[in-house]
């Protein structure tokens, strides 16, 4: 029977809590302003640290009433400030609380409150705005809706240390897009925030620093301006260097290193500048050591990966700094023992976030190994590294899978690794599995890696071919994503290189002529280039050339004509002329050129073109057509002489480019033989 009594008991407790909460809300409607003030103060004390009480008050409609009191001109300054404090406290509850506050239009009300001259009220409004805006559920665009808000916030920076701390924190959380960066930059963010970097308050210095890191990220205009800023007659970059000293708090060291990293990546600081090589890079490597907290290690590794991504020299320096390659191996063994972390809350947090460490390590390995063969070797020889990458490819977290495949892609640029580690660990199997069903960003990186595994010297090429990959790659060429279309066709191009007729036939059959010609008119020039590359590889060796041209010659000649007539780059036209040169090398295929006066005129035009690459390719075409040892060469030579090709060849034997000159002479010798 006991279980029957439980339900009414729970209801009575709940109604008691609601009744207490109702009492707080009722007091907000008292006609006596003094009692209303006392009611708000009592409410403030009741909600501190009590999420249940916060939720109850929100449900009972406290928020609209508090906002009404806050906005009433007749309310005393003290009452308005206390209302802002209570609203700030309610905002510190759950995400649902924040959503309720935003739905009640708390942001416009608080922004309006900033126009009041009373500093205590302004600080209370800013503190509440800060709490609301740092929540991930608040739409940051609400800060930019009214164009007068940002300049007004800038003007409030000089009022007190608190306004400085809250406003810079709001800016750093609400600066999410290049448009936001531009708005803040245009309203003088740099001039107004720079002096705060030497504020006596650590909190103000820290928030100002975070502001600069989000302003400079991938922004050349901001970064170029920051380089020339002086703070108390000291260059800003030197202020950042001082903030990275080992005696500074870790958060400050890390954020200062991020500022310099972003300025460097935006082109404002050279990669060989001492503040990068001797200060930012070693500071970020320090952040990767196992003494640091999990989030510091993650941020340190990801920032370091970003810093050196495009620069081989920085990659080399980092690879020999503090045994970084070996240090990163610890990211996969975390937490290694429970005893190392005495704080149970911290252990629970770290177990939930350990995948972020693996993701960061893969990213950093990818960046380290993107250019240098010795570093790649060092990475693959790190304990169980290939096994870790293989298991990373099937992790539940998409971000880890993406980072693992990015790491694999970086290592797959090495001929040595393709022939050894990749083959020994059969990495193509999990890679193929990943390609079956993954988000686009993972697909792009996985298919890029597959392109490298299909190069002719890769031992993985054969087993991949046997696994039925052609259909999969052909389906990628139909994707809406240009990157996936490029990778699909690129992989097919690599597969067709020096392949036997059976493989080439399978590619043509699976792709279908319709899709092949659709790709030849693709708006993306990379797709077009790779499709031409595929066609060129399909049309290599005479039997293959004749076979492909006998079944698809008409369409191929049509596509070639369209490209040579169209507005395309030199590279595209050169590749197209090389395809014609291959066709001209066929036994029967060359007749498709000889009987097409339009194409012959185009070859003639490109032989006299101002670009040497096009002249070379066109001359190679003619050379193949008139080659002496082949049947019908005399008739072809006579026809081309009549069309004026000999005169052009004669002129080209005087060309200033030695290669063009030699090729023209070789062709002329066919007439003299």
Tens digits of per-residue pLDDT, 318-335?
999 999 999 999 999 876
533-564 burial by CB neighbour count: b if 16+ within 10 A, else e? bbbbbbbbbeebbbbbbeebbeebbebbeebb
Lookup: tokens for 552: 């698809």
Residue 651 lies in a domain: yes
- Give the rounded distance of the alpha carbon of 18 from its chain centre: 49
Residue 244 lies in a domain: no
Residue 642's CATH number: 1.25.10.10
pLDDT of amino acid 238: 96
pLDDT of amino acid 1: 35
pLDDT of amino acid 342: 64
Residue 510 lies in a domain: no
- Give the rounded distance of the alpha carbon of 169 from its chain centre: 25
pLDDT of amino acid 73: 86
Lookup: tokens for 20: 């207490």
- In sequence order, which residues have a C-beta less than 8 Å from that of residue 48 and are 6 or more positions away? 89
Residue 281 lies in a domain: no
3-state helix, strand, coil in the chain (%, to 5): 75, 0, 25
Rounded-to-integer distance, Cα 41 and Cα 35, Å: 10
Lookup: tokens for 658: 């030695």
Residue 559 lies in a domain: yes
Residue 552 lies in a domain: yes
Residue 514 lies in a domain: no
The whole domain housing 566 covers 541-672
pLDDT of amino acid 116: 94
Nearest residue to 460 (alpha-carbon basis) of 497, 489, 502, 432: 432
Q: How many CB atoms lie within 10 A of CB 508?
A: 20
Beta-carbon-side half-sphere exposure of residue 184 (alpha carbons within 13 Å): 28
Residue 580 lies in a domain: yes
Q: Taking the CA atoms of the chain, what radius of gyration do you get in angstroms?
A: 34
Mean pLDDT by 10 residues, the chain (673 residues): 39 52 88 93 90 89 93 92 95 90 95 95 97 95 96 97 98 97 97 97 98 98 96 95 97 98 97 97 96 94 97 96 92 67 75 91 96 93 91 93 96 88 89 89 95 90 89 94 96 93 90 90 93 93 90 89 91 95 92 93 93 94 88 88 90 91 89 71
| pLDDT cut 90: percent of the chain above it | 75
Structural domain count of the chain: 1
pLDDT of amino acid 29: 92
pLDDT of amino acid 343: 73
Q: Are strands 230-231 and 234-235 parallel, antiparallel or unpaired?
A: antiparallel
Rounded-to-integer distance, Cα 488 and Cα 530, Å: 9
pLDDT of amino acid 7: 41
Instruction: Give the total residue count for the chain.
Output: 673
- Considering only the C-alpha atoms of the chain, give the largest distance between any 2 of them, rounded to a whole number of Å: 116
- Give the rounded distance of the alpha carbon of 413 from its chain centre: 20
pLDDT of amino acid 336: 60
pLDDT of amino acid 18: 67
Give pTM, 2 decimals: 0.85
pLDDT of amino acid 605: 94
């Amino acid at each position: 029977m006991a279980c029957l009594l439980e339900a009414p008991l729970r209801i009575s407790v709940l109604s008691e809590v609601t009744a207490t909460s109702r009492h707080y809300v009722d007091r907000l409607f008292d006609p006596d302003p003094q009692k209303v003030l006392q009611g708000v103060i009592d409410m403030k004390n009741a909600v501190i640290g009590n999420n249940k009480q916060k939720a109850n008050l929100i449900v009972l409609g406290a928020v609209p009433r508090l906002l009404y009191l806050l906005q009433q001109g007749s309310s005393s300054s003290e009452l308005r400030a206390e209302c802002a404090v209570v609203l700030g406290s309610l905002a510190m509850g759950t995400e649902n609380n924040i959503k309720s506050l935003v739905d009640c239009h708390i942001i416009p009300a608080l922004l309006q409150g900033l126009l009041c001259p009373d500093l205590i009220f302004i600080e209370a409004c800013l503190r509440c705005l800060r709490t609301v805006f740092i929540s991930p559920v608040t739409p940051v665009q609400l800060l930019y809706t009214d164009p007068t808000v940002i300049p007004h916030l800038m003007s409030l920076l000089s009022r007190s240390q608190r306004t400085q701390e809250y406003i810079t924190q709001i800016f750093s959380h609400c600066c999410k897009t290049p448009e936001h960066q531009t708005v803040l930059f245009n309203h003088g963010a740099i001039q107004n925030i720079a002096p705060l970097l030497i504020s006596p308050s650590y909190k103000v210095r820290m928030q100002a620093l975070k502001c600069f890191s989000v302003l400079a990220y991938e922004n050349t205009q901001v970064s170029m301006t920051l380089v020339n800023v002086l703070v108390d007659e000291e260059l800003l970059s030197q202020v950042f260097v001082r903030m990275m000293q080992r005696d500074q708090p870790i958060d400050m060291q890390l954020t200062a290193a991020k500022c310099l990293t972003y300025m460097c990546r935006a082109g404002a600081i050279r990669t060989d500048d001492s503040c990068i090589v001797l200060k930012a890079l070693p500071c970020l490597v320090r952040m990767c050591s196992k003494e640091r907290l999990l989030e510091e290690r993650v941020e340190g590794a990801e920032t370091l990966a970003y810093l050196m991504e495009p620069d081989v020299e920085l990659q080399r320096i980092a690879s020999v700094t503090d045994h970084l390659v070996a240090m990163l191996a610890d990211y996969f063994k975390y937490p290694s023992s429970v005893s190392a972390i005495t704080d149970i809350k911290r252990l629970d947090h770290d177990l939930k976030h350990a995948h972020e460490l693996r993701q960061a390590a893969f990213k950093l390995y990818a960046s380290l190994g993107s250019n240098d063969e010795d570093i790649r070797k060092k990475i693959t020889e790190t304990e169980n590294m290939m096994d870790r990458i293989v298991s990373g490819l099937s992790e539940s977290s998409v971000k880890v899978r993406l980072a693992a495949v990015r790491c694999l892609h970086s290592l797959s640029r090495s001929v040595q690794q393709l022939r050894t580690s990749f083959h020994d660990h059969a990495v193509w199997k999990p890679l193929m599995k990943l390609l079956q069903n993954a988000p686009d960003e993972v697909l792009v990186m996985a298919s890029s890696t597959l392109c490298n595994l299909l190069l002719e010297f890769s031992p993985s090429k054969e087993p991949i071919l046997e696994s039925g990959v052609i259909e999969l790659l052909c389906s990628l060429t139909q994707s809406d994503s240009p990157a996936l279309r490029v990778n699909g066709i690129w992989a097919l191009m690599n597969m067709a290189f020096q392949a036997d007729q059976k493989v080439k036939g399978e590619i043509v059959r699976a792709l279908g002529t319709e899709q092949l010609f659709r790709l030849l008119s693709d708006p993306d020039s990379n797709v077009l280039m790779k499709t031409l590359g595929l066609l060129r590889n399909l049309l290599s060796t005479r039997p293959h050339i004749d076979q492909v041209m006998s079944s698809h010659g008409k369409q191929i000649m049509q596509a070639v004509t369209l490209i040579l007539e169209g507005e395309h780059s030199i590279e595209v036209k050169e590749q197209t002329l090389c395809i014609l040169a291959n066709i001209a090398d066929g036994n029967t295929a060359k007749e498709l050129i000889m009987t097409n006066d339009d194409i012959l005129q185009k070859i003639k035009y490109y032989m006299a073109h101002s670009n040497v690459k096009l002249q070379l390719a066109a001359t190679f075409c003619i050379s193949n057509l008139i080659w002496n040892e082949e049947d019908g060469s005399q008739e072809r030579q006579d026809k081309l002489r009549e069309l004026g090709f000999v005169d052009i060849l004669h002129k080209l034997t005087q060309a200033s480019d030695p290669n063009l000159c030699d090729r023209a002479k070789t062709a002329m010798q066919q007439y003299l033989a």
